[in-house]
């Protein structure tokens, strides 16, 4: 196995390890939640609570959320009767020091149907930085009064799906074997003349064109040599 295969295989493994180390990186997230219980085009956000994810690999959260006041429950019921959404804002700070703000929403009637139960999914990129947050509530949709004023929240941490990894090492090995077989004459080269020797033909054509362009007088003189004075 020659040095080209060894170097390429080493680089491929290094890149793969780099992505794996980012995916396996264990950091933390601090999430500040704010919600809007009004139905205006511009939401009026008030504080809902804080969530700390101590390990993004395990997704273990620590939640500290405030219960809804009677007036807030009444506003949530108004949103449900109007068929509108409960809006949530999340300000997420990661262990790298970056801070991002995300918006999400869920039908208000679903929160009434589950007695203020919701699921927050935080999506991270390959560098373990938050890129989105989604709120869902399983429902069912109902207009009945909630039996509690306390939130029941679950946190999920998700990475993007990487998809299948190409078998680059095997492909390079196959190319090397075919090259060695051609050099030993075991594989017949069925390429055309131009396909085999284009790297020699093209420079020759370029040289001819450049030579002709550099001597226009000689070409003109040759054309007038047959004219009678």
Mean residue pLDDT of the chain comes to 79
Tens digit of each residue's pLDDT (9 = 90 or more) over 106-131: 999 999 999 999 999 999 998 889 99
* 23 and 81 share one domain: yes
Residue 2 in domain = no
User: How many Å apart are CA 88 and CA 103, to the nearest integer?
Assistant: 6
The answer, yes or no, to whether residue 12 has pLDDT greater than 50, is no
Residues 99 and 111: their CA atoms lie apart, in Å, by 28
Dihedral sign (CA 181, 184, 190, 196): positive
Domain boundary, last residue among 158, 184, 215: 158
pTM of the model: 0.61
Please write the tens of the pLDDT for every residue from 29-50.
999 999 999 999 999 999 999 9
**Residue 129 dihedral angles phi and psi, to the nearest 5°:** -105, 140
My answer on whether 22 and 69 are in the same domain is yes
Number of domains within the chain: 2
Q: Are residues 43 and 114 in the same domain?
A: yes
Dist. CA 36–CA 103, nearest whole Å: 11
What's the pLDDT at 9?
40
Q: Which helix or strand (DSSP H or E) is residue 45 part of?
A: strand 45-55
- Residue 121's contacts (CB-CB under 8 Å, 6 or more residues apart) are 133, 134, 135, 136, 156, 157, 158
Helix, coil or strand: residue 131: strand
| φ and ψ at residue 123, rounded to 5 degrees | -100, 130
Residues 135 and 44 in one domain: yes
Let me know whether 98 and 203 are in one domain. no
Choosing from 132, 158, 184, the residue where a domain stops is: 158
Whole-number Å distance between alpha carbons of 178 and 180: 5
* Band of residue 156 on the pLDDT scale cut at 50, 70, 90: very high
Instruction: Please report whether residue 178 resides in a domain.
Output: no
Domain assignment of residue 108, given as a range: 10-158
How many Å is the maximal CA-CA distance in the chain?
Answer: 116
């Amino acid at each position: 196995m020659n040095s080209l295969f060894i170097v390429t295989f080493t680089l491929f493994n290094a890149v793969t390890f780099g992505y794996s180390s980012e995916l396996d990186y264990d950091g933390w997230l601090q999430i500040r939640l704010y919600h809007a219980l009004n139905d205006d085009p511009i939401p009026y956000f008030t504080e809902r609570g804080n969530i700390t994810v101590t390990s993004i690999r395990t997704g273990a959260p620590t939640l500290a959320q405030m219960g809804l006041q009677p007036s807030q429950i009444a506003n949530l019921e108004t949103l449900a009767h109007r068929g509108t959404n409960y809006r949530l804002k999340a300000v997420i700070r990661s262990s790298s020091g970056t801070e991002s703000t995300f918006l999400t929403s869920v039908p208000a009637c679903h929160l009434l149907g589950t007695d203020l139960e919701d699921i927050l999914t935080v999506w991270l990129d390959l560098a373990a930085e938050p890129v989105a947050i989604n709120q869902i509530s399983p429902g069912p949709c109902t207009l009945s009064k909630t039996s509690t004023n306390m939130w029941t929240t679950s946190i999920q941490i998700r990475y993007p799906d990487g998809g299948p990894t190409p078998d680059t090492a095997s492909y390079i090995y196959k190319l090397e074997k075919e090259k060695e077989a051609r050099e030993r004459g075991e594989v017949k080269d069925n390429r055309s003349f131009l396909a085999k020797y284009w790297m020699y033909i093209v420079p020759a054509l370029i040289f001819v064109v450049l030579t002709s362009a550099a001597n226009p007088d000689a070409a003109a003189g040759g054309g007038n040599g047959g004219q009678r004075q």
